[in-house]
Structures are given as C-alpha cells and as structure tokens.
A and B are shown apart, each in its own frame.
Chain A
C-alpha cells in the first residue's frame, strides 16, 4: 500500500538533546512538508521541500532542521535551540504540479514530549 510512514509514534526529548523524526513516502511525490500542531491550533508549516537536495523554511523554522537526500525521505531534526518542542508533528507529501490544486497526504504523526 502506498502512503506516508512516520516514526516513532511517540518520542521523548531530554534537555539539550537533538532528536530526529522520520518521514518516508512511497507515493513517488516530489513535494514533502513538516507541520507542527499544538492543542486547539491549526497546522503551522515548519519546512517544505519541492525537490531532492532543496528545501525552504516555512513559518516556524527556528530550532528545526531538515534534509532531503532522497525523494522518499524527509527527516526533521528538533534541535536543542527549540525551547518548546512539545507538540504533534505531521509529515505530508504531494505531487506538486505547481497549480495550487494538489492534495496533500499526511502521515499518522509523531507526538514529541520533553522529559
């Protein structure tokens, strides 16, 4: 089955620690995205990538980093510079035809908590 796989489902971060969230897709989509969701709030875009080896900052990129070395993979690192990392993180992908009509497909999310 095609889809987006996020791992782990739950993750705990210690003070001063970097953690990496995995996102893999087998939909052959060009574009991938990372969102942060806080309780009672909408989704906020962290980073997105429209092609391998290229990515752009979203609205709340500070304290996060990404890489796009393969089309299928778009890992997100939450660095120690992110002082309030507790949230639900969602990865998504889309075809990216550039017409503004693309459907985004989402993974099941990773819930990150601070110990």
Chain B
C-alpha cells in the first residue's frame, strides 16, 4: 500500500532560519508528490507538487525535489518568516489510487520573530 512518513514536530525556528521538513514515502506504482499547508483554523491549500523523478516543485520560497532513489520529497526554505507558521502535510497519489491522496501526519511549524 501507500504511506507517507514526515519528521515529527513541532518545529520551532527563529525568523530567517533555514527550514527542512523531511518526508519519505512508499508507494505501489509511480507516485505524484505534494506538499499542502494548513494555516490556523483553515483548510489545506496546495503549496507545491512534483509528478516525476528529479522534478523540483517551488512556491513562495519553498522548494522540494522528487528523489526516487531515496523515496523522499523534503521541503526546504532558505529564510522562514513568522507568516510561515502553519502545519505542513506531505502527500502522494498514484495512477492506481486515482485522485485519492495519502497524507503524512503533518508537521507543525512555529516561527518566532
């Protein structure tokens, strides 16, 4: 079956620090990979995605590279801001799962001024 494992949180950083949130996966078939973000009290919204090996998704200064050899899709940002405080979810879907997503547990990020 499909599964996603994220680094445990919560993560607390100071403003302008470097961020990495680890995500590894197992999948039946060839997955597409996603990072979603959830701001307090809201639903999820797509942050970035990658659909094939070595693709790099990027948005709002966040980046993640699809690494097939290590089955990973780590999220990075060079300089975080207080406004980046949120919960980040790694997710995958495959051709066999169709549009169904498998989510990781989520990682709470708090950025202090």
List residues of A whose CB falls within 8 A of some B CB: 4, 6, 31, 33, 40-43, 45, 48, 50, 90, 92, 94-109
Give the Cβ gap from A45 to chain B, nearest Cβ, in Å. 7
Closest 5 CB pairs of A and B: A106-B43, A42-B103, A102-B99, A100-B93, A100-B95
Which B residue's beta carbon lies closest to that of A3? B43
Roughly how many angstroms separate A48 CA and B29 CA in the complex, as a whole number? Answer: 21
Known: A41-B106, A42-B103, A42-B106. A100 touches B32 (CB 8 A): yes
User: Residue B94 at the A interface, CB < 8 A?
Assistant: yes
Q: Which residues of B come within 8 Å of A, CB atoms? A: 29, 31-32, 34, 36, 41-46, 49, 51, 89, 93-101, 103-106
Total A-B Cβ pairs within 8 A: 71
Give Cα A43–Cα B99 distance, bound, in whole angstroms.
15
Contact A50 B98 (CB under 8 A): yes
Task: Using A42-B89, A107-B43, A109-B41 as known contacts, list a sample of 6 further A-B pairs with CB atoms less than 8 Å apart, ordered by residue number in A.
Answer: A40-B106, A41-B106, A43-B103, A96-B98, A100-B94, A104-B46
The A contact surface, by secondary structure, is: loop
Contacts of A94 in B (CB 8 A): 99
Q: List 8 A-B contacts (CB under 8 A).
A: A31-B99, A33-B100, A42-B89, A42-B103, A98-B98, A100-B99, A103-B34, A106-B36
Q: Could you tell me the distance in whole angstroms from the C-beta of B10 to the nearest C-beta in chain A?
A: 9
A90 touches B44 (CB 8 A): yes
Of A41, A48, A95, the residue contacting B100 (CB under 8 A) is A48
In-complex Cβ contact of B99 among A40, A96, A108 (8 A): A96
